[in-house]
Structure 1
């Protein structure tokens, strides 16, 4: 049985480029308009009558074109231009008001009042309750996209992406991103503009003329990515002018052999009401100059789940993060002179970027199971209390076994099961078992405190004028009164003070406080 195009994409394990059109927000958002519906809505806001009569006049005016697609497009951009002219005139005459815009602001910023009204229209949206479950699948698919291109004005796509990923997607508005040297991962290109910049919106005849002049940049960007990434169209029709123009322009640049390969890398998902299956068909369109695969369905979750199976070990957002830092480290800093090497785990990249200054560094990045540094005591306790360690368990167990001073938190890592599963030497394992036998009761640790005065709050202790070691003991003795979270914040603050001085030693009293906190939190 021949494999489906989605299965081929999964086997090739390549993050796709995804084009998202208005069909996607129309599927998920309440009262999201088509282009014609949007024009009719603003025609009425402009206090005009007989909308379809005006459309008919425009059709007679432009006459027959090569295709109905081109004819509808010309009518719509002409109507949009007319609406813009009417609304702008009424705004400056004081006949209508536009929220968030004054005549002075519009004039000074050379901002079309119509485009500001258009941005206002799409600034808020409401998700349909019936699609909440499918949206969860949509988000998982989005974070597997190498890059996203959209003609939509609203922020629905990037909002959904950022809801799923802890690394926000990089946004380029208009055609600026095509003029820049970009990373090429975890990026969204709002090619018809975005509501955050009303001037960028492409809606009228002049806007499209300027857009078409530069559309070759989009084609060039896509062609360069096509060698390594499949392309998927969602929320577009095969009759959509934007889709046809784009496919046609980059198909013209391909050889016959490359066009054959394109068939396995170019997918258009077309909505077919009520269809639960994925009906796949290869379309040969002479006007486009290539063949492509079309999947017709109403079961979009199946599509999303297939794309979400693509797995390269790290998500595109993480690739962009690493590439950005490496570029700054090696390309930009390397120009300054000889490079110094340092070994880091991925979770340290942000700190390195913040502290680059004039240092020249090369970074080795890898899975934290393979690349790691043995922590010092300050780093170990700080990461433990913050609960953000990315080191593997064997590394942590080996560090615990290496400590002659037994007073430090360990319960989250250490158990008889974790010792058995570890790759440590028997002598190291015995040290860990001894620790388990020694530290069995938090009361024993509290009894060893030198100072046990009673206080009502952490602030009261801080204001009591106590020496640091005295304060550590008193906080530990009053941990139940102070509360776990307040105690956690206090320990982190104390460790950060030590770390900022470049010290690696932690006072025994602070170690014991961290151990008592660990008992209360994890044992």
Structure 2
């Protein structure tokens, strides 16, 4: 059941009840709006009128407005989309009306003395969505971190259960498709997604999920390490995973990210005493190959903004370049270390 419209009002709101002549006059003024609303729903879903007589003049006025909007070519759609549930002996029939200047319209009438059985059947039905609706939802729904600012938007990570008690007046961002029962928190991601997120900051990975689920699992198959300080710096809990603790303990400076051959290459690269920069390496090595030498720079030679500009431009040019590229991944891990390590140290100390 999608939405319920009480045409003649509800006891929950006595002012909405249609009882007197003035009430009916007011209802007549809003019939065109209601017809337009029902027509919008009608184009995607069937509409069931429960407890209303087909002879009710208000109902007939609404049907006339809808029929006028549909046009004669589409009137046949009403038979399957408009269903009237009325009291009487169990039977299903087709009921027809003829409206001057519009034509004949037909709809389904279901008669029963037990509405409870109908309600039960409606309650068991599963809601389906047209491809157009799914596309609209996909454009509007984001899997966001559950640490969103409550003053800006209320973020529900993946549950519908609390929707009825959410406070009014706040923006709601509902994350769909991020839960996996096997994890209890969210679906597993690939390492490449974390690398991209460090560079573009657009994957909206929840720090809690990253630190407690993704990184511990992915580190088992990524012996070279993973970018993790972005998530550690925003994580409010205590890091308990042995692999992560080992990684934190071993990576104290940029040299710790290099293997023996790269450490030797770094010594040779600086042997002349010439200072390098991100821009000079790109100029000397070429845009596509510069990342192989950028890992040899000293910390004080690296302008993080320039390095980020380079990484983004490189990956945008070739979106698959991260996959299987251990040298580029090393550079991204070094950027992650330089960008977020200090913030992580501060947060860890404050705890």
TM-score, normalisation: structure 2: 0.40
Between 1 and 2, higher relative CO (CA 8 Å, sep ≥ 6) is seen in 1
TM-score, normalisation: structure 1: 0.28
